[in-house]
Each structure stands twice: as structure tokens, then as C-alpha cells.
Chain A
């Protein structure tokens, strides 16, 4: 009792723990920090460049920049002012992106399931490589292939859809023009997003805990009922995240869409009609002959596209990380 330490009057203060880094550590730290931060800096510089140039347009056009259908330069002779609105293009971008996800994700999920649970061992590796190579094909190649090879077939499918489902407003046709429609652009984009969605889905499917799979089989499950009961609930978040990454790619895709989509400054719900919109394609379309004020408007459009794809990718990453962390 008497040997017990006398409690100190001052409350304990947490000590600061330090380590003295070596010089070589400092150098290495500087190198990797620079590398790590450079991507952030580049992103910020691009955003600043676009905002700086487009700011005037945002100011003068206001909300109508996002909702307007018109894209006309100022005509000093006729005395009309310029009017820049990307509403139709923005709508078209979201429409083709949505169609790409609608067509591409089921195929990608099917491919991921096949690779994870159905493909024979000898086929798995070559197929994974093939799918990854799909992601490395330049988009102009997809565009040209889409235009010359794929479009005639897709037009035929569009005609069939119109013939049998034409009573649905989306498949109505005000004119007999089936080529270069949002439907075809959506299909080409779907093919382009398949690799990323497949590889993300395959990775989450492969992480499905073996004990749950075995539990299902031990209860007399067929492969398909096991997948529905165990693999899908586990991998759902990852598939959604992969689909969002695919959507991000589809929204920002430029050249391929430019080749297979007819740009029209109008919002139309008929997806089979040869009239669509796409912000990225519009920028390519206008960039070559734009005068100074129009260039600024294109920068502003670029900033909107930049923001949309950034947000979509951001959400996708959050979803994928959340899925990866859960047991």
C-alpha cells in the first residue's frame, strides 16, 4: 500500500512520436509525392483552363446554356447575337450513354459469369486477354467498324423493332432514316464498355466467399440457382460500380460516336431515328471552324462534359470500394 505511486496531479499528455527520416527516404518521398500529386494538379489545371475560357459563356448564356437547343454564331450582317445551348447535345449524351449501359452491361455480366463459373480452365486465360485487348482498340477503329460493318446489320434490327414495336413512342419513326441513330451509337458504345464492365464484374465475382458457394451447393443448388442466391447478392455493388465506370466511358467517348451518330440540335425520344446528340462529338464537329467566341462556348461545353464524367467516375469508385470492403 505504502509503495503505491502517488498519482500525479497533472493529467497525462500524449507524447509526439517522431522518426528522423534518412536523406534517401526524403528524396524518395519527394519523388513519389510529386508523382502522386501531379495527376491531381493536371486535373485541376484542365478544369481551370476550361472554366477560365468558358466562364464568359456561362455568364452570358446562363441556364439556357444547359437547356437551349440552338448553337448559332453571331451574324453581324443580320444583326443577331450568338446563342449557344448544349441542351440537345447533353440529352443525346445521356441517351446514348444509357443505351450503352442497357445493352452492354447484361452482355458484360454474362461474360464475367461465364469466365468465373462456366468456362473450362483452358479457355479462361485466353478469353480474359481477348476481353482486355478489346479495351485497347482505338476508338476510331470502333467508329469505322461501326459505320461500315456494324451499321447495316443494326439498321436491319432497327427496322424490325420499328415494324413490331413501332406503337411504342420510342420506336416511332417520323422519317425513313435508320442510319446513324442513337440506337446504333448506343450499340457501338455498348461494345466499347464491355471490357471494363466485364473485368470489374469478374473481379468481384471471383471474390465470392467459397464457403457460401459450397453451402449453396451442399443444399442441392444448381449452378444457376447458386449464382442467383450467392454470387449476385455479393457482387451486385461491384457490377453497379463497373456499369458506372462504363457509363463514364460512354459519356466521354468522342470519335466513335462522331462516326456513327448524326448530330441534330433537337431533343427527340425516337431512338431509332437518324438524329441524336453528343457533347463530345459536337465539340469535335465544331472545333475546326470555330471563331473565338464559339471556341469559348466549346470550352464551356467541354467543362460540363468533364464535370459529368468526373462525377460518374467518382460515384463508381465509391460504389466499388464499398463493395470491396464488405465481408
Chain B
């Protein structure tokens, strides 16, 4: 419980800074302001302990048919941190995170090379139960996708049913997931309404609550705010900050402000016509204030992309 309270207090703090940052960023975007944002964010998060590597990607390559779309990506994701993946469209960010929870293989022509280690065990090893992997590595999609045939309550608890897990004290789990997703106060009186009746931002937080119900170690978010208005985006960013204390979060975003606001680490992907590569990875403040690569600087300063 105490750790929960801590994270909430922490979240409130980060919420304030996030609001201030939105105000600050409403003018022109310059690299120095993004760097400030990132630096502020890291300061507010010093209370967070950076845990061990829960998830490691090693030399990942990906192909669609014969087309090589990702080349030699190695990245570590630490428990208790948020890692943002930025880069222009088509550079393979989404493909990369879909490889992490084995969603890549649903595309018929897709193939890959390399390893993804979850607690030291390769998730692509023969004999691994893929449904168990996806239970431990949750995913939130670009477009909010609650199950329309289910109520809000059923949506949150759907993961347990889908994975055929036992349901102990459902009500408690329901409330805690909705609270952690920052949705409880808005829906507590209408849990039996259908999920489709909520607004887009609420639906997305419902999807986050749904992912939390199966207690994942890692949460992958594929541009979770790109279909949402700024207010909803802010709420989700607060949620991400609150959640990050207990898990590892990987977020793909096109919004560099967002990367600067929510993440501890940032990876910059780029494709120069060929396969996407990881150009640079580092602490978010370093990437935005003092990138090592010229291409990173060009991108974060808005010179292309």
C-alpha cells in the first residue's frame, strides 16, 4: 500500500510539472525548451528507483517478406522507468515493440532475427507459451479498442477470462486497476455500462486498466495518445508516470514533447530508405539537450521528420 501512495503523490507532482510544461511548450518548440522539459521531468522522478533490466532486446532484425525493416536493434528496458521510442513514420518503432510481446508474428509475411529476453529467458525460444509472454508484457494500442460487447467492468476483467486465470476478489481488482489508470472516479457509478459509451480518452484509459488487470511487468504503448485530445493526453501521461514506479513502460510516440515529458530514457529510430536503425539511446535529458549524433539533434530540434 505504501508504495502505491508514494506513486500517487509522485504522480501528482509530475502532473503539476507536466501542466507547467504544456503551458511552457505552447509557444514555439525549440530544442532548449525540450531539454528543459526533459531535465525537469528527471528531477521530479529522482525518488524512483531504477530497477533491474526486466526486458532486453538483442540484435533484433525484422523483415516483411523480403523487405528488411529493422536492423540490429539492441535495447534494455529497466523496471521502474519509462522508455520512449521516437523517430519519423516508417522507421520501425511500432514493428519493434510488437516484436517485444510477440504480436509481430500475426502479420503473415513477417519474420525476425535476434532475441528478446524477459527475466533472462528468450521469449522466442521454442516451447515458450506465447500467451504467458503476452500476460507479462501488456500492450496499449494507438486506437482505443475496448470490447464493445462488454461492460466497463467486464472490459477491465476481460484479461483474466481470456487467459483463463482465476478471479479472486474481482471488485477489489476492478477498483485498483481503474484507479491506477486514473479512470475510477469517472466511471465508478456506471461500471455496467458498455465500454463504447465512454469518450476516446476514457476508452484509452479503460484499455490501460484492462492491461493492468493481469498484472504485467512491462507495458508497451504504441502511440497511445495519437487519437486523443490534449486534455486526455495529459491524463494518460499522468497515468504513465504513476504506473512507471511498479513496471517498465515502453512508449512509441511521434510527439517529442510527450517523450520529453514522460520518459526517463529515449531511443531515436531512423530509416534512411533502408531498414530502421536505432541511432541513439540515452537518458531523455541527454537526448534532448546534448545528443551525440547530429541526426538526433536535427530530429529533436525539428529540422526534419
Contact = CB atoms under 8 A, between A and B. Distances in A.
Interface of A: 121, 209, 211-212, 214-222, 225-226, 229-230, 233-234, 327
B211 A219 contact: yes
A217 B141 contact: no
Interface in B25-83: none
Contact of A225 (B132, B150, B162): B162
B145 A219 contact: no
Contacts, number: 73
B131 interface: yes
Interface in B119-152: 131-132, 134-135, 138-139, 141, 143, 145-150
10 contacts: A215-B141, A217-B106, A218-B134, A218-B139, A219-B134, A219-B158, A220-B162, A220-B214, A221-B131, A233-B148
Contact of B214 (A216, A219, A225, A226): A219
A229 B161 contact: yes
B113 interface: no
A221 B143 contact: no
Interface string B178-214: 0000000000000000000000000000010011001
A192 to B, nearest CB: 32
B163 A212 contact: no
A222 B131 contact: yes
A211 B148 CA distance: 12
Contact of B106 (A212, A214, A225, A327): A214
Pick from A214, A217, A218, A230 the residue with the most CB of B within 10 Å. A218
A220 B211 CA distance: 10
A222 B103 contact: no
Nearest to A121: B108
Contact of B163 (A209, A211, A225): A225
A220 B149 contact: no
A280 to B, nearest CB: 39
Given A216-B162, A217-B106, A222-B164, A211 B143 contact: yes
A219 B148 contact: no
Given A218-B103, A219-B134, A220-B134, A211 B145 contact: yes
Nearest to A225: B162
Contacts of A218: 101, 103, 134, 138-139, 141, 211
Contacts of B161: 225, 229
- For chain B, give the interface size range: 20 to 34
Pick from A209, A226, A230 the residue with the most CB of B within 10 Å. A230
B275 interface: no
Given A218-B103, A218-B139, A229 B159 contact: no
Contacts of A226: 162
Contacts of A217: 103, 106, 134
Interface of B: 101, 103, 106, 108, 131-132, 134-135, 138-139, 141, 143, 145-150, 158-159, 161-164, 207, 210-211, 214
Contacts of A230: 147
B149 A219 contact: no
B138 A219 contact: yes
Nearest to A212: B145
B141 A221 contact: no
A179 B159 CA distance: 50
Contacts of B134: 217-221
Pick from A209, A215, A220, A221 the residue with the most CB of B within 10 Å. A220
A214 B101 CA distance: 12
B141 A219 contact: no
A219 B163 contact: yes
Pick from B103, B139, B145, B207 the residue with the most CB of A within 10 Å. B145
Contacts of A234: 149
B210 A219 contact: yes
A214 B141 CA distance: 9
A215 B164 contact: no
Contacts of B131: 220-222
Contacts of A214: 103, 106, 141, 145
Contact of B135 (A211, A215, A220): A220
Contacts of B146: 215
B69 to A, nearest CB: 19
A219 B139 CA distance: 8
A89 B159 CA distance: 51
Nearest to A236: B149
Given A121-B108, A211-B143, A219-B211, A229 B162 contact: yes
